[in-house]
Structure 1
Amino acid sequence: MDLLGRLDWLDPLDPLEPGPSPYRVPLPTLGRMTSQAQPQPQPPADTRAGAAVKAADRAHVFHSWSAQGLIDPLAVAGAEGSYFWDYDGKRYLDFTSGLVFTNIGYQHPRVVAAIQEQAGKLTTFAPAFAIEARSEAARLIAERTPGDLDKIFFTNGGAEAIENAVRMARLHTGRPKVLSAYRSYHGGTATAINVTGDPRRWPSDSGTSGVVHFWAPFLYRTPFYATTEAEEAERALRHLEDTIAFEGPGTVAAIVLETIPGTAGIMVPPPGYLAGVREICDRYGIVFVLDEVMSGFGRTGKWFAAEHFDVVPDLLTFAKGVNSGYVPLGGVAISAGIAATFETRPYPGGLTYSGHPLACAAAVATIGVMADEGVVEQAARIGEDVIGPGLRELAERHPSVGEVRGLGAFWALDLVRDPATREPLVPYNATGEANAPMAAFAAACKARGLWPFVNMNRTHVVPPCNISQAEAKEGLAVLDEALSVADGFLA
């Protein structure tokens, strides 16, 4: 069967199936990227090889964010486009984009070829030298960042980008404190995990890192008793300014925000909020850092999510979609004012693999693919024409869906136990039996060939930005069926 060809539907006698879905459409072979080579046939099942991969993993791989004895990782045999498959031959439509990084899907031939070509030319070189792939990647990124963010400091990923952005802000201002939102995730390294607001911070929170958390706007679960977006924005800005006043404006180096929070729930900020934060930062001489590690490079239907709000930060962090995750790469885009601080003063930071040639070659090719194939525009269209309307229709059909929110290829369903009270389907940071409803929902998705992104009481819809309409509808049909399982847990 062609990799991007038709996926067989569920057995009509499946007891979990609620009935015909409006999203169920026959899926022809998909010529989704006409400039690509034709997809290769999926290899036959090889359960023996899969068992060997799994055994080696369980014997030697220490997995992140996991109790090692309680996990059962899927052994993946291959991937292409919007799909991956296991050694048993089962194929999954990936509604996670890996960890929201395969913005152009898996194994795009142009990017694979660029990595191979760079490996044949110059596999690696130290960061102190000028290298063609590094220079070109920096130029292409700077062309697309908003405002005067024209200097690029390369890192290996998003957490290191936040580490260095905070260091730059502290050195630029001479101040120690950083403010960030409770509903946020900024990475797992020492500073980044303290800047993070979600529970992954708790085991590693030093309490002395100079980070102060505050409430950012989120109307559906407002901490400000707001009833409109305008009220939520105004009250959230007042709360932020009060926090700064009580912390001491002269002690605050930076405010760090995800332009649109990702793992924490894809809460699109209300109109005027980010512009208000920009004004507060200007008034108090605070560096404004926008984290676009997840929301950047087409994910929201713009090159960067900041474009939706007409704001320019002083520092912008990126990673993930910059090269679709094919080789680890991240970075900080730096404004002219902050770059000037280090014009004659050495910047005290660096990484052995900063701007690695293979990673930068992948970024150059990825940006080229996105420009040539209209990937950013496709993300905007698929969000406006298919995913957004489709998810809102699912919300009308399923009482477990409390809210639909998102942009482009960046969406979340907030699942609830009681639509009237908005009680989450599972408690905050639930584990074990308390998390059973979300575990059942996820299992129903996987049984039907959809790999979901599930976090707390939410499922995020974050497929590749160039997913086709047919593929998106295929995923919506599976969500329709799996949400019937979530409906069964309503109070």
Structure 2
Amino acid sequence: MTPHADPRAAFLADPQAGAAVKAADRAHVFHSWSAQGLIDPLAVAGAEGSYFWDYDGNRYLDFTSGLVYTNIGYQHPKVVAAIQEQAGKLATFAPAFAVEPRSEAARLIAERTPGDLDKIFFTNGGAEAVENAVRMARLHTGRTKVLSAYRSYHGGTATAINITGDPRRWASDSGTAGVVHFWAPFLYRSPFYSTTESEECARALTHLEDTIAFEGPGTIAAIILETIPGTAGIMMPPPGYLAGVREICDRYGIVFVLDEVMAGFGRTGTWFAAEHFGVVPDLITFAKGVNSGYVPLGGVAISAEIAATFDKRPYPGGLTYSGHPLACAAAVATIQVMEEEKVVENAAAIGENVLGPGLRELAERHPSVGEVRGTGVFWALELVRDRETREPLVPYNATGEANAAMAAFGAACKKNGLWPFVNMNRTHAVPACNVSEAEAKEGLAALDAALSTADEWVA
């Protein structure tokens, strides 16, 4: 099979223009997380809904949602119109003033956050949200240390990259950021030799308490966790774990931060993933799905207690573009679209009725699939060489030849018209939250074909 031809894409097909875009990119664009001479970025001509296409007229079903942020798909006309309208009225204004789109975006976000997280500090993205959440926690408590999990990603800026637990941290780890890592629960690859979810939960909480005891409770400002870790593998926390962390934080006066940059705004079938676990943190960081990435926007939702810390004491932080009118207008329109079109409900239904059952059925037929896990439109397939030993299909953080099996799997997906999310030995199924049943099934069929390639590497 070849990538799907689409009438819109065919109309726009212009290989010469694509070659010019690629040439300018290769000459001048410095790409993130990449060895610049080893990459070959696809030149994209356009996108709509759950699809994008290149200049040769090849169309792909996007099972990555960009970087897991186009929660309402590409080019939603109501959000595009809202950005255009706002640009015509007030394209930009400094953050010290009250402007309508900023006020309304904050109100709509606060209406959907759990508990009393009713004050919103706007940033330009998720990493800056984490930076400011940590700063707030340290100033609120007068402490410096932050605890975070090894299997995590919290952003690429100075504090956020030190808090991150995955290998992207290593090159920039200063060792002076006051960050301590611990093991969060992950039953499939349990660091605690657990055999049940209840064992994993209890042992993970004991491990966290032990870490706190040996680090000194009075030195710890915050514990930050992705509610459901995203890039690191979409590991659903076992029942009771997040509630247990909440109790530990309350006992020691530690600020509990939930990072919902990827999991928030409908991705898991609820507005915020915390709703699945009945937990209210002290701070929530968000970005990505808040406006489907149409204009960069992130933020921190702040509890009443922490907000009160800065009632008479200036908060020492800010950004030139905090609450940018175009970004906030996009957020207002996105939230309205999600309500009107029942996007959150669709994500829940697609997960329960299509993706969950479909991915589990693939696992039954493909020996390369070790585990399926997720909820809503937030799923991961753990690919293995051996189901019994659970040996990953490629080694941890593999590159080059060591990563050949996953590279072959990814190429097979693209050949079948699916743009996959591939990280280490996993592929994630993370389409738009408003993906249709037919589109989801199309993605499953493409995964089915590509997993046959992964099966060739099974021991």
Residue by residue over 1:99-121, the C-alpha shift from the partner in whole angstroms, topping out at 9 and shown as x without a partner, is 00000000000000000000000
What amino acid maps onto 1:326 in structure 2? Y
Given candidates 29, 40, 43, the residue that maps to 1:72 is 40
Aligned partner of 1:393 in structure 2 is 361
CA contact (8 A) 2:382 2:426 kept: yes
Q: Determine whether 1:359 maps to 2:327.
A: yes
Aligned partner of 1:152 in structure 2 is 120
**SS of the residue 2:374 aligns to:** strand
Aligned partner of 2:446 in structure 1 is 478
CA contact (8 A) 2:9 2:58 kept: no
Residue by residue over 1:112-145, the C-alpha shift from the partner in whole angstroms, topping out at 9 and shown as x without a partner, is 0000000000000000000000000000000000
Question: Separation in 1 of the partners of 2:339 and 2:192?
Answer: 41
Given candidates 305, 312, 318, the residue that maps to 1:344 is 312
Question: Separation in 2 of the partners of 1:209 and 1:161?
Answer: 17
> Normalising to structure 1: TM-score of the pair?
0.92
Relative to structure 1, is the Cα distance of residues 444 and 41 closer, same or farther in structure 2, using a 3 angstrom cutoff?
A: closer
Q: Determine whether 1:169 maps to 2:137.
A: yes
The 5 A counterparts of 1:47-196 are: 47-196=15-164
Question: Separation in 1 of the partners of 2:380 and 2:208?
Answer: 25
Given candidates 216, 221, 232, the residue that maps to 1:248 is 216
What amino acid maps onto 2:113 in structure 1? T
CA contact (8 A) 2:269 2:375 kept: yes
**SS of the residue 2:12 aligns to:** coil
**SS of the residue 1:404 aligns to:** strand
Structure 1 residue 44: Cα displacement: 3.1
CA contact (8 A) 2:262 2:287 kept: yes
Unaligned runs of 5+ in 1: 1-9, 15-26, 30-38
Question: Separation in 1 of the partners of 2:13 and 2:349?
Answer: 36
Aligned partner of 1:235 in structure 2 is 203
Aligned partner of 2:337 in structure 1 is 369
Aligned partner of 2:279 in structure 1 is 311
What amino acid maps onto 2:294 in structure 1? Y
**SS of the residue 1:43 aligns to:** helix
Residue by residue over 1:292-331, the C-alpha shift from the partner in whole angstroms, topping out at 9 and shown as x without a partner, is 0000000000000000000000000000000000000000
**SS of the residue 2:11 aligns to:** coil
Aligned partner of 1:448 in structure 2 is 416
Aligned partner of 1:379 in structure 2 is 347
Structure 1 residue 441: Cα displacement: 0.1
Unaligned runs of 5+ in 2: none
Report how many aligned residue pairs link the two structures.
458
Aligned partner of 2:388 in structure 1 is 420
CA contact (8 A) 2:71 2:434 kept: yes
Question: Separation in 2 of the partners of 1:155 and 1:337?
Answer: 21
**SS of the residue 1:171 aligns to:** helix
Residue by residue over 1:29-54, the C-alpha shift from the partner in whole angstroms, topping out at 9 and shown as x without a partner, is 9xxxxxxxxx9676331000000000
Q: After the TM superposition, which segments of 4 or more aligned residues of structure 1 sit over 6 Å from their partners?
A: none
Question: Separation in 2 of the partners of 1:490 and 1:80?
Answer: 37
Aligned partner of 1:275 in structure 2 is 243
Q: Determine whether 1:198 maps to 2:166.
A: yes
Question: Separation in 1 of the partners of 2:176 and 2:135?
Answer: 16
Identical amino acids, percent of aligned pairs: 86
Given candidates 174, 180, 195, the residue that maps to 1:212 is 180
Aligned partner of 2:227 in structure 1 is 259
> Normalising to structure 2: TM-score of the pair?
0.99
What amino acid maps onto 1:371 in structure 2? E
Question: Separation in 2 of the partners of 1:225 and 1:50?
Answer: 52
Question: Separation in 2 of the partners of 1:260 and 1:287?
Answer: 18
Question: Separation in 2 of the partners of 1:379 and 1:79?
Answer: 20
Question: Separation in 2 of the partners of 1:309 and 1:482?
Answer: 34
Question: Separation in 2 of the partners of 1:343 and 1:228?
Answer: 46
Q: Determine whether 1:335 maps to 2:303.
A: yes
Relative to structure 1, is the Cα distance of residues 52 and 281 closer, same or farther in structure 2, using a 3 angstrom cutoff?
A: same
Residue by residue over 1:218-248, the C-alpha shift from the partner in whole angstroms, topping out at 9 and shown as x without a partner, is 0000000101000000000000000000000
**What root-mean-square deviation, in Å, do the aligned CA atoms of Structure 1 and Structure 2 show?**
1.3
